């Protein structure tokens, strides 16, 4: 890869000589032409076939703003696989975009390292009433003030219709038209950087959505060798897979380079199958890291994996893929099951409080042990991997939206339990992720919604959702994914954020995030970790000791009765009470100057102490 990578496929405006150069990989075609659409007389221009199954050519009459389609062997017009913009949706023409026209103001931005991330996941369509990139910009100051350091945007690659989670995207390079298109996304990223916020973009490389998916007409993008829950697997290791691998690598570099994205979150990498000598994930991580260095920015790659496999984040020399981080769902499952008492579906592998302590100290609950739900051993040990390689949450789009009614924890847990759950995550030794609205206890659900144009596909989605919920015993009465009401009901209702008890929850999140910044021992990867669970009292303790001598000791009472804990004996110095969910400002009874040696934990509460003798940060 050149140190100054630029996108060569698709439609590229020639700045010096004028016109547009078109380039498309199409090994399945014998002839390819470009049709410029929108003029009184359609213009069709034949492209020349190169030795690498790429068809290319320059059209002098095309320019930024021109709409076009490809015709393969004289067939119907098709969107460009590398289209930068689809103004009329997945079936319409592609538009030529000049990526250099946007005026960036973030030249001094250098990114944020993994250990400093506090991620706030959001869905553009429901994050605001307008559902656009522009509207999201108005909310960034609130997130900065809260203590968030990065926003994670659910997929924005062009999907069918106007309502979708984004995982049905079919044009990976085109930014969703209803959100504001490519310049809308650039404006959001630029505004985030102005406020010191990084931007994580969710990308999908394990499958392509069904409606508007024309990639198979161009080349062997898919394989029948492997199966995924979402459709045909992407061809990463079969015949002619080199072109497919380049397509995906180009896409990752495209977001980093043309949109200044700081991190890519790779969706469900357990659905990426590659048995070649160099796994696509390792290749992608390496080239993205190299491009980040060329751009003088920290750029990260984070994988969502269901495998509990530390190979994802281990270095290449240790046989790993060297991603910068991975999602770790076990802590979520353990906290959720312990507080809600749910034990159906995959929650059957959890229950009680011991799994929480295990996840806090060992990254995964299942690290080679047998899973009753999976009926086999699952995962591998990962205690040798630094804690800043793991992203944890108590809520995210999957864990909420993939419930029958999209209900949040606020629909199930009490006020005290919500504060306790937040404390378990934000006092953990990992990178925290919040889901939009969580910080004030949003009551509205986040449900699954689509707006497909194919009725057969809509019926299949409805049926699939019902089948998915059988293991959880949630019944058939699920919200209709195709209904606009399902989408509207999922929008945030920020009007409650300033009311009690929601304002108290918001204050608690802000205080915990401030504590994470202040205490070295709470920085992911900085401390030695010791966690224990007492099933008899339902108390979990977590002791974090950093090399600098700083310590944080946290205790969590997951019961309806008050409990006592004992602070660790330390020499020299004592402890200072640093945080309590039971403080008056958080809706409790503790005074701000509560004694440090008060080791009583009220019902459903958490407290944290810091070493009094440690030097100030």
Could you tell me if 428 and 538 lie in one domain? Answer: no
Q: Which of 35-39, 179-183, 431-435 has the lowest mean pLDDT?
A: 35-39
pLDDT at 462: 84
| Residue with token string 């538009």 | 95
- Rounded Cα distance between 8 and 4, Å, is 12
pLDDT at 15: 80
Could you tell me if 161 and 281 lie in one domain? Answer: yes
Query: 279 φ, ψ to 5°?
Result: -65, 145
Q: Are 520 and 526 in contact (CB under 8 A)?
A: yes
- 514 inside domain: no
Q: What is the mean pLDDT of residues 138-145?
A: 98
Percent over 70 (pLDDT), the chain = 95
- 158 inside domain: yes
Could you tell me if 91 and 118 lie in one domain? Answer: no
Residue 614 above 60 pLDDT? no
Is 315 strand, coil or helix?
coil
- 200 inside domain: yes
**Residues with active-site annotation:** 267, 304
Could you tell me if 43 and 89 lie in one domain? Answer: yes
User: Over the stretch 35-67, which tens digit does the pLDDT of each residue have?
Assistant: 999 866 668 999 999 989 999 999 999 999 999
Could you tell me if 66 and 210 lie in one domain? Answer: no
Residue 157 above 50 pLDDT? yes
Could you tell me if 448 and 585 lie in one domain? Answer: no
Q: Are 177 and 183 in contact (CB under 8 A)?
A: no
Residue 467 above 90 pLDDT? no
Residue 468 above 90 pLDDT? no
pLDDT at 348: 95
pLDDT at 475: 58
Domain count, the chain: 3
- 173 inside domain: yes
pLDDT at 617: 41
Q: What is the mean pLDDT of residues 327-341?
A: 97
- 516 inside domain: no
- 517 inside domain: no
DSSP single-letter state for residue 394: S
Residue 402 above 60 pLDDT? yes
Percent over 90 (pLDDT), the chain = 87
Could you tell me if 199 and 278 lie in one domain? Answer: yes
- Rounded Cα distance between 476 and 465, Å, is 9
Could you tell me if 258 and 177 lie in one domain? Answer: yes
Looking at residue 32, which CATH number applies to its domain?
2.60.40.10
pLDDT at 472: 66
Q: How far is the CA of 593 from the CAs of 554, 567, 579, 615, in angstroms?
A: 18, 18, 11, 21
Could you tell me if 427 and 536 lie in one domain? Answer: no
Helix axes 241-258, 280-294, angle to 10 degrees: 30
Q: Which of 67, 95, 123 is the last residue of a domain?
A: 95
Q: Which of 37, 65, 95 is the last residue of a domain?
A: 95
Is 90 strand, coil or helix?
coil
- 103 inside domain: no
Q: Which stretches does DSSP call E strand in 66-113?
A: 67-72, 77-78, 94-95
- The sign of the torsion formed by the CA atoms of 467, 471, 472, 474 equals positive
pLDDT at 105: 98
Looking at residue 314, which CATH number applies to its domain?
3.20.20.80
Q: Mean pLDDT score of the chain, rounded to an integer?
A: 94
Within 8 A by CB and 6+ apart from 390, the residues are 313, 325, 326, 327, 328, 363, 430, 431, 524
Looking at residue 597, which CATH number applies to its domain?
2.60.40.1180
Q: How far is the CA of 485 from the CAs of 117, 449, 450, 489, 614, in angstroms?
A: 34, 9, 11, 6, 54
Helix axes 330-340, 354-362, angle to 10 degrees: 160
Going by pLDDT thresholds of 50, 70 and 90, the confidence category of residue 516 is very high
User: Over the stretch 225-270, which tens digit does the pLDDT of each residue have?
Assistant: 998 888 889 999 999 999 999 999 999 999 999 999 999 999 999 9
Could you tell me if 159 and 193 lie in one domain? Answer: yes
pLDDT at 548: 72
Q: How far is the CA of 603 from the CAs of 134, 188, 335, 547, 582, in angstroms?
A: 43, 42, 16, 33, 9
Could you tell me if 491 and 557 lie in one domain? Answer: no
pLDDT at 590: 77
Could you tell me if 284 and 192 lie in one domain? Answer: yes
Q: What is the mean pLDDT of residues 273-292?
A: 97
Pairing of strands 390-393, 376-378: unpaired
Higher-pLDDT residue of 465, 332:
332
- What domain range is 71 assigned to? 10-95
User: Over the stretch 187-232, which tens digit does the pLDDT of each residue have?
Assistant: 999 999 999 999 999 999 999 999 999 999 999 999 999 988 888 8
pLDDT at 474: 64
pLDDT at 1: 45
Q: Which of 447, 470, 504 is the last residue of a domain?
A: 504
């Amino acid at each position: 890869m050149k140190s100054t990578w630029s996108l060569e496929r698709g439609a590229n405006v020639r700045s010096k000589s004028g016109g547009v150069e078109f380039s498309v990989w199409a090994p399945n075609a014998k002839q390819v032409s470009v049709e410029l659409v929108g003029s009184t007389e359609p213009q069709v221009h034949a492209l020349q076939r190169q030795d690498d199954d790429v068809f290319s050519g320059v059209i002098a009459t095309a320019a930024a703003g021109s709409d076009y389609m490809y015709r393969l062997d004289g067939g119907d017009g098709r969107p460009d696989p590398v289209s930068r913009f689809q103004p009329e949706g997945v079936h319409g023409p592609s538009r030529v975009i000049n990526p250099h026209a946007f005026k960036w103001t973030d030249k001094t931005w250098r990114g944020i390292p993994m250990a400093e991330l506090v991620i706030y996941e959001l869905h553009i369509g429901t994050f605001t009433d307008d559902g656009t990139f522009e509207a999201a910009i108005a909310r960034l100051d609130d997130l900065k003030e809260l203590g968030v350091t990065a926003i994670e945007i659910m997929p924005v690659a062009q999907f069918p219709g106007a309502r979708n989670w984004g995982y049905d995207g079919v044009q990976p390079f085109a930014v969703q038209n209803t959100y504001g298109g490519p310049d809308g996304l650039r404006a959001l990223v630029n505004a985030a950087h102005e406020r010191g916020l990084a931007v994580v973009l969710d990308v999908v490389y394990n499958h392509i959505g069904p409606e508007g998916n024309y990639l198979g007409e161009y080349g062997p993008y898919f394989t029948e060798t492997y199966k995924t829950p979402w459709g045909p697997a992407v061809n990463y290791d079969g015949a002619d897979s080199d072109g497919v691998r380049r397509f995906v690598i180009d896409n990752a570099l495209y977001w980093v380079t043309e949109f200044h994205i700081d991190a890519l979150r790779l969706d469900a990498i357990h659905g990426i199958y590659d048995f070649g000598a160099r796994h696509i994930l390792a290749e992608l991580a390496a080239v993205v890291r190299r491009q980040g260095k060329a751009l003088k920015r920290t750029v990260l790659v984070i994988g969502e994996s269901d495998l509990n496999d530390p190979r994802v984040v281990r270095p290449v020399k240790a046989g790993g893929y060297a991603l910068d981080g991975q999602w770790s769902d076990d802590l979520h499952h353990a906290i959720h099951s312990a507080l809600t008492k749910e034990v159906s579906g995959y929650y059957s592998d959890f229950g009680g409080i011991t799994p929480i302590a295990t996840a806090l100290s060992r990254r995964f609950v299942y690290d080679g042990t047998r899973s009753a739900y999976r009926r086999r051993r699952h995962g591998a040990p990962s205690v040798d991997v630094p804690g800043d390689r793991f992203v944890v949450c108590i809520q995210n789009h999957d864990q909420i939206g993939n419930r029958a009614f999209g209900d949040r924890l606020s629909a199930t847990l009490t006020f005290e339990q919500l504060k306790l759950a937040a404390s378990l995550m934000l006092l953990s030794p990992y990178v925290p992720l919040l889901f939009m609205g969580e910080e004030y206890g949003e009551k509205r659900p986040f449900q699954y919604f689509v707006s497909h144009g194919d009725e057969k596909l809509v019926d299949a989605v409805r049926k699939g959702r019902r089948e998915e919920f059988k293991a959880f015993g949630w019944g058939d009465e699920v919200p209709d994914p195709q209904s606009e009401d399902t989408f509207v009901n999922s929008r945030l209702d920020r009007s409650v954020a300033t009311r009690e008890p929601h304002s108290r929850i918001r204050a608690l999140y802000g205080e915990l995030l401030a504590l994470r910044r202040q205490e070295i021992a709470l920085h992911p990867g900085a401390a030695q970790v010791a966690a224990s669970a007492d099933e008899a009292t339902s108390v979990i303790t977590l002791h974090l000791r950093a090399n600098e001598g700083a310590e944080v000791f946290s205790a969590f009472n997951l019961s309806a009765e008050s409990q006592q804990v004992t602070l660790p004996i330390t020499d020299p110095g004592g402890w200072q009470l640093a945080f309590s969910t039971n403080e008056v400002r958080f809706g409790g009874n503790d005074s701000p100057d509560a004694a440090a040696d008060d080791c009583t934990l009220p019902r459903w509460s958490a407290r944290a102490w810091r070493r009094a003798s440690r030097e100030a940060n």
